[in-house]
Amino acid sequence: MDYTSLKTNIINKKSDIYLVGVFTDKKLLHLGKSVSKQNIDMAKRCFEKNNFTGVIGDHRTLDDHITGQQILFFGLGEKGKFGPLNLNRSIKSVITKIKKVNLTKISLNIQNLIIKKNDINIEVLVSYIDDSFYKYIYKKEKNISKIKQCGLVSDTIIPNKMLSKYVLSGKAIASGIKFAKDLGNTPPNICNPTFLSNEALKLKKINKLLKITVLNEAKMKSMGMGSLLSVSQGSKQPAKLVSIEYMPLKNQNPIVLVGKGITFDTGGISLKPSPNMDEMKYDMSGAGSVLGTMKALAEMKVKKNVVGIIACAENMPGSQATRPGDVVTSMSGITIEILNTDAEGRLVLCDALTYAKKYKPKYILDMATLTGACLVGLGKYPSGLFSNDDKLADLIKKSANKTGDRVWQLPLYDDYFDELKTNFADIQNIGGRYGGAITAAAFLGKFTEGVKWAHLDIAGTAWEVGENKGSTGRPVSLLIDFVLSN
């Protein structure tokens, strides 16, 4: 979709429908002269008569007899609570309402939407608009939306060069989110470790600076990745470890992003219950978010050194599968007693984290749908955040607040590390009954000593259930902002 800049000082006639966001105070001062006084008066009467509340999800439509177009008022919620999260929700709500209608041009009043103190800018807005048109398509079909142009209406014209820059970045962010969503939504009989590694290799076409390396099982075995390989040995699908290097600058330590890529998780010998097991195709969402972030950064041609690493395997209960009680040796040399084969994400990640250290990273961030315990503790709204460095955690929180991709930090007290002690190896792969998300993070922490590291448990946030079932693409927007900001 193309974007143009329009002014509020004349009646808006350049679209099929004019979208106007309204707070719960129902004030319309931001319209300027883009709507006639007659229509503003009509809108005010309509708001009173039809009880338009201005809450997110509320809409009212008027026919403008002067321009021949429609004016659609949509709720932004309370002004005092407005920020990236509510903007995203309101944009998705109104786009969902109009995208199936036979429209080609829309215009959007952005006076109420662009708020500098809340870090909302054109780039963020464009990413939300483009993402609102997302639909997973398994087979080729016609695009359900015919909307090709969006005019951004404000009291000043945005210079073309500046607008183009914002739009390019916003579209890149939306493209990265779409990529992550598509990977997550792809059926697990298609999206296996080889498929993910091939999708990573395709990124080379975007930016010639990308260097992509795929390690097969033989190579991983020679490097001592016994923990990662213990997860894949029950499946016919071979594991892959993929590194995506984007290093445009010399002498700058990179940020390394590590993603869990379990393309389907049965639980292995510690078999999961069958209800909702289809959702375990989303267990590669950490890897998907890394791939989506790297795609966006490559499209934006950012001047930052970043490395993406994805550890890909399928966890199946085959005849060669790892058993509870088995002991394996990780790449770091740490031996691990596997007490639960359904705690497999940490087993692939620990070798990937050890591998990541070779880049001498400024920071390591890992993303994983790691524990149901995180979902129990935090619900489906924030991702769980764990870190061995408070300053790094604060930087992540700042990016979370800027993007509306929320996180909540949990502790990593020494007590949790004590729960990983065992008589039969250096550590075991699960803790006690309680605090499962924290003991899982503590396990990963054993492999990140000496490095500033953070872990995001996205088990509750990587996909939606119910009517809107599907991948969310989280935390791509957070990761992009974190890289750009640091």
Q: Which of the residues are catalytic?
A: 272, 346
Which residues, in sequence order, are bridge partners of residue 150? Answer: 3, 106
The one-letter amino acid code at 248 reads P
Contacts of 161 (CB under 8 A, 6+ apart): none
Q: Maximum Cα–Cα distance for the chain, whole Å?
A: 81
Contacts of 459 (CB under 8 A, 6+ apart): 368, 369, 370, 371, 372, 374, 375, 384, 437
Token code pair at residue 357: 């250290």
Contacts of 360 (CB under 8 A, 6+ apart): 253
CA distance 147 to 110: 18
Contacts of 307 (CB under 8 A, 6+ apart): 243, 244, 245, 246, 247, 254, 255, 256, 257, 356, 359, 361
CA distance 85 to 118: 10
Please name the residue that has the structure tokens 């201005």: 54
Count of CB atoms within 10 A of residue 208's CB?
8
